[in-house]
Amino acid sequence: IETFSAALVGLIMLAIGAVMIYKTSMQIARLIVLRAHPPSFGVVMIWVSLVSVVSKEFIYRWTRNVAIKTHSAALYANAWHHRSDVLSSLAVLIGAVAIMFGYPHGDQIAAISVGLMIILVAVKVFSGCLNELTERSVDQETVDQIEKIIASEQRVLGWHKLRTRSLGREVFVDLHILVDPDLTVMAAHEIADCLEQSLHNRMTQPINVMVHVEPKMY
């Protein structure tokens, strides 16, 4: 559900960017120039836009950090939604400055540029959701973290056939570990249980682990 929610946010952002480009392009094609405002209005718009850019950028960075820590696709998409607000405010800022300096189409050109950037962000969010829905392998950083946890279990003498995939926030891990061939079945099973528990405790995202035990042949 979370991944579908993130994909929906991506599609909404894509539509917003496309509509912004279309409407602004029509204004330019029809030679529509926005009505001039007194200089004081431009100064107010600049300050309002600056405050909006700074505040929304802060919210974007904070939300993005939380999304990365929790591996939440929906939060990540929401973070980029805040970034699209930053870009929109930036367009208003550029437009206000352009009009003050006598460039009546400056804000419209800025709006088209922002629309393109929003579309690029939307494609990034949507493609990330598609990767999750198609159960891709996890990134190398996550694989390295998993291998580090496995290596920390001293009773594991080696491992192979490590396979990973992600579905939404959850990571699925399948691996074969090598243990002392003289161990009892109960002892070998205990090692596998301890390794699974370590992975559950030390990984930041939900994880589903399947450990196969094999004797190490000397």
pLDDT digit string (tens) for 31-60?
655 555 555 555 777 788 788 888 888 888
22 and 75 belong to one structural domain: yes
Q: Return d(Cα 147, Cα 164) in angstroms, integer.
A: 11
Which of these ranges, 99-103, 179-183, 189-193, 211-215, has the smallest mean pLDDT? 99-103
116 and 39 belong to one structural domain: yes
Please compute the mean of the pLDDT values over residues 180-198 and round it to a whole number. 89
pTM of the predicted structure, to 2 decimals: 0.50
The mean pLDDT value of the chain amounts to 79
* Residues 124-175 pLDDT 10s: 778 777 766 666 677 788 888 889 999 888 888 888 888 888 776 678 889 9
61 and 151 belong to one structural domain: no
CB 13 within 8 A of CB 76: no
149 and 195 belong to one structural domain: yes
Helix (H, G, I), strand (E, B) or coil at 134: coil
* Residues 71-121 pLDDT 10s: 666 677 777 777 777 877 777 777 777 777 777 666 677 778 778 888 888
Domain boundary among 118, 133, 148: 133
Q: Return d(Cα 147, Cα 71) in angstroms, integer.
A: 19
Q: What is the CATH number of the domain that holds 69?
A: 1.20.1510.10
Range of the domain at 146: 140-215
Beta strands in 41-200 (DSSP E): 158-167, 170-179
127 and 181 belong to one structural domain: no
